[in-house]
Amino acid sequence: MLLSTRQTEIVALAKEHGRVLVEELASRFAVTPQTIRKDLNDLCDARVLNRIHGGAVFPSGNENVKYDARRSMAAAEKQAIGRAAAAIIPDNASLFINIGTTTEAVGEALVDHKELMVITNNINVANRLRVYPSIEVVIAGGVVRGSDGGIVGEAAVDFIRQFKVDYAVIGVSAIDEDGALLDFDFREVKVAQAIIANARHVILVSDASKLERTAPVRIGHISQIHTFITDHCPSAVLREICAERDIRLIETSVANVQAELI
């Protein structure tokens, strides 16, 4: 992408301050908010910045790692998490699955289930499960994010809100020490929030590396979750939150060690 002079300055400001806001940029450059929004949309589409409500942020962590590369990161841990999540979900259930490499691992582990209805904004999950006659796949409409096959935007949010399902399987980009669930894309956050609000039992799946990362957009709080499945939870604070809020914490690495000792 060839940046204009104004876009170059916007990127520099975002890098210096961490984020930029539409109204402040419009005043600084003496242009309309609509012009700034177009600049930010172009920069975010090019993955130079990440969109947030009212502005944009400079990317941090390893968010820019390609999606296919993320599949290979902690692959064994994700497969174990996927199997643990699938073990909770019974046959004849309805569920949401959102975008993410860990949620894809859950989808992989569900292939032997019977009479499932899977509603997803994850093209990869839909394509994997569509060939199984005992699994009905319903896919959200909206903007397809080219980087990972996630379907995002208001159309996807409105679609999700039509349902009330038994289970939701969600992944996140980062989990803060205080229990905040975080992501990079504001559009995906809105979809995840709709999924959480319209499921009777919410399962958070995340490998331990997400506890070492940060992301700028808040999805919600771990207190909204019923079951948290991870390979290992080293945070005493998160463990305490899970205990206080009656959140079931499943650590697959611990389970594997115990199984080997029996």
The C-alpha torsion from 48 through 53 and 54 to 58, rounded to 10°, is: -30
CB 176 within 8 A of CB 24: no
CB 14 within 8 A of CB 57: yes
Q: With bands split at pLDDT 50, 70 and 90, how would you rate the model's confidence at 213?
A: confident
The per-residue pLDDT for 58 is: 78
Mean pLDDT of 85-109: 96
CATH number corresponding to 5-57:
1.10.10.10
Task: Tell which residue, 243, 247, 259, 258, has the closest CA to residue 220.
Answer: 247
Of the CA atoms within 13 Å of residue 103, those in its CB half-sphere come to 30
Tens of pLDDT, residue by residue over 23-38, are 999 999 999 999 999 9
The per-residue pLDDT for 261 is: 37
> What share of the chain has pLDDT > 90, as a percent?
66
The per-residue pLDDT for 167 is: 98
User: Is a pLDDT exceeding 80 seen at residue 18?
Assistant: no
The per-residue pLDDT for 260 is: 38
- In the sheet with 55-57, reading across from the earlier edge strand, the strands are 19-21, 55-57, 50-52
Mean pLDDT of 49-70: 69
The per-residue pLDDT for 39 is: 94
Q: Which residues of 114-148 are buried (b: 16+ CB within 10 A; e: fewer)?
A: eebbbbbbbbbbbebbeebeebebebbebeebeeb
- Backbone phi and psi for residue 141, each to the nearest 5 degrees, phi listed first: -95, 160
The per-residue pLDDT for 60 is: 58
DSSP annotation string for 13-80 = HHHHHSEEEHHHHHHHHT--HHHHHHHHHHHHHTTSSEEETTEEE---TTTTS-HHHHHHTTHHHHHH
Highest mean pLDDT among 139-143, 181-185, 203-207: 203-207
CB 184 within 8 A of CB 209: no
Strand-strand pairing, 94-97 and 116-120: parallel
Locate the domains of the chain by residue range: 5-57, 68-261
Range of weakest confidence among 39-53, 135-149, 229-243: 39-53
The per-residue pLDDT for 63 is: 46
Select from 3.40.50.1360, 3.40.50.720, 3.40.50.40, 3.40.640.10 the CATH code of 68-261: 3.40.50.1360
> Considering the entire predicted model, what is its pTM?
0.74
CB 192 within 8 A of CB 225: no
Residues 6+ apart with CB under 8 A from 151: 99, 121, 122, 123, 139, 140, 141, 142, 143, 144, 145, 191
Tens of pLDDT, residue by residue over 102-145, are 999 999 999 999 999 999 999 999 999 999 999 999 999 988 88
